[in-house]
Amino acid sequence: MAQRTGRAKEKSSNFSLFDLDLRGWLGHAGGAAKGAAKHGGSDLGRLVVVGKQSDATHAVESLQLDVPQWLLERAKKKRGELLYAATADGPLWLVQLESKSSAAAHGGLFALSPYGVARDLAAQIIPSLADHALSELRVHFVATTEHEQLGALVGLELGGYRYRQIRQPRPNQALPRLRLEGVSETTIEEARLLGVSTNMARHLVNLPAAVLNPKTYSDALVEMFESSPSMSVDVWHGKKLVSEQMGLLIGVGQGAANGPALVHLKYRPKGSKRGQRPLAFVGKGVTFDTGGLDIKVSSGMRLMKKDMGGSASLCGLAYWLEQSQLAVPCDFYLALAENAVDKHSYRPGDILTARSGTTVEIDNTDAEGRLVLADAIDVAVKTKGADAPEALIDLATLTGAMRVALGTRVAGLFANDDTLAETLLAAAQRTSEPSWRMPLYSDYLSSLRSSVADMANSGHSRFGGAIVAALFLQRFVGDIPWAHFDMYAWSDGNTGGCIEAGGTGQCVQLLADFLRARISK
């Protein structure tokens, strides 16, 4: 067992996680400038963000910018679009935020929030920046709310993330310096931290499995928090996993060159209320999934470096918590393994014994995510005393069945507690991270029957696969309030402020909002 505690370096630091600059784009900003800029030039660009309650004409007049009349007329008719014009003051992008009424359908759950509208629109400036050799981009906020400002700045941070520029920097492709006007330093810092934390999750997902494996992953987390007074890191591997009888996690990872690990991040900030019980988060961290001996077809294996997306989002959330010092104690349990094909790989028909003592017959080695989660969940729910969790939330790229049901953008949410589910769905709407509650229909548990073990790991039917997987996990949860996100954590294109195809950091913004809301109660 390796145990080291640490603090993520100073907030202004450029400490990197696999080359990711944790200052972010906003961290290099010139601050909240006072007054409108008076000079222009081809190397200076402007982004004007106008609140939904104002209009572009008034905004431009207040900034004393020379903008073509046609652009202002178009802005009146094309609210909710990113508009561009070449002006005497240099290139100008104009966003007139639109007013989104709460859609009656689904109780307004999928209505874009002011935060989400601003985030997604501001991010769209990034592709067009490549057409201009700008040394500085000035962002003007006019008649905007704090939520709109926060969303737009997070959108810039998300849009500015480019994997190749991080791993293979090219000076001529660097983003211009930012100068922000009409927004407070507090909002800038809040947006920077939320954007960087989401980008951290994205970056971890984007890393090749040859770079990110259970060992390098856990080592990076130990290093990240090595001097933190509020976040401790405890890594279980090898003999410790054996002594803890974590047969499911061991079984999944035993065929890989780098064996499995359980990483426990324990966050205990100053200011927590006496007697306040922590929230527990569990993340699936399968750094590559071949499917095991029940091997995937090549097309199904192509993106399986993303199978650790749940753990990646929790890493981003843990970093956000540690840097923000939010007074909500939390525990993060990351179940790390590589599901490899090898002579030591676990086999169909094997019977593994979980940490809980439950025996599991392996019906399909490609149903491995629920196995690693089950052992980690058992560690979380059986923690005693002051560290016993108040509630448990797990994140996992768990089933293809959920993608068939809800597509790639909408996360499936299962919960055994209505209050917890409703609170999470409200946070999902506020942050425009769409989620939909799915049923824990207990009759489907019968498909996991086994004649030689307490249960099988995979159902005998191809129907209801996401529900069956959630029911498998529920067997290990007990009576604690619990929520399970079955998510994709990947985008094939430009969505939700993420310009590049790749990891999305799904649920980081949602859970950060969820935790903030607990403080405001």
Q: Which two tokens stand for residue 388?
A: 């016993």
The verdict on whether 46 is a catalytic residue reads no
Name residue, tokens 């990110």. Answer: 212
Contacts with 183 (C-beta within 8 Å, 6 or more apart), sequence order: 32, 139, 141, 144, 149, 153
* Strand-strand pairing, 455-456 and 435-437: unpaired
Q: Is 296 a catalytic residue?
A: yes
Question: HEC string of 418-457?
Answer: HHHHHHHHHHHHHCCCCEEECCCCHHHHHHHCCCCCCEEC
CB 356 within 8 A of CB 363: no
CA angle 54/57/60 to nearest 5° reads 100
3-state secondary structure 114-135: HHHHHHHHHHCHHHHHCCCCCC
Residue 424: how many other CB atoms lie within 10 Å: 23
Cα distance between residue 210 and residue 123, in whole Å: 30
Candidate list 46, 370, 403, 475, residue with the active-site label = 370
Q: Look at the alpha carbons of 512, 326, 277, 228 in this order and tell me if their dihedral is positive or negative.
A: positive
- Residue 518 carries which side chain, given as an amino acid letter? R
Amino acid symbol at 161: Y
Do residues 58 and 143 touch, judged by C-beta distance below 8 A? Answer: yes
Give the residue among 53, 42, 89, 150 at the shortest CA–CA distance from 71.
Answer: 89
Q: Is 302 exposed, middle or buried (0-12, 13-18, 19+ CB in 10 A)?
A: exposed
Cα angle for residues 422, 428, 433 (degrees, 5° grid): 150
The answer to whether 414 and 483 have CB atoms below 8 angstroms apart is yes
- Measured in whole angstroms, the distance separating CA 446 from the mean position of its chain's CA atoms is 33
> Do residues 335 and 311 touch, judged by C-beta distance below 8 A?
yes
Instruction: Tell me how far apart the 2 most distant CA atoms of the chain are, in Å.
Output: 78
Spatial separation of the C-alpha atoms in residues 393 and 420, rounded to whole Å? 9
Pair type for strands 136-142 and 177-181: parallel
CB 205 within 8 A of CB 309: yes
Q: In whole angstroms, what is the distance from residue 312 CA to residue 306 CA? A: 9
Considering 162, 177, 240, 296, which one is annotated as catalytic?
296
Q: Which residues are catalytic?
A: 296, 370
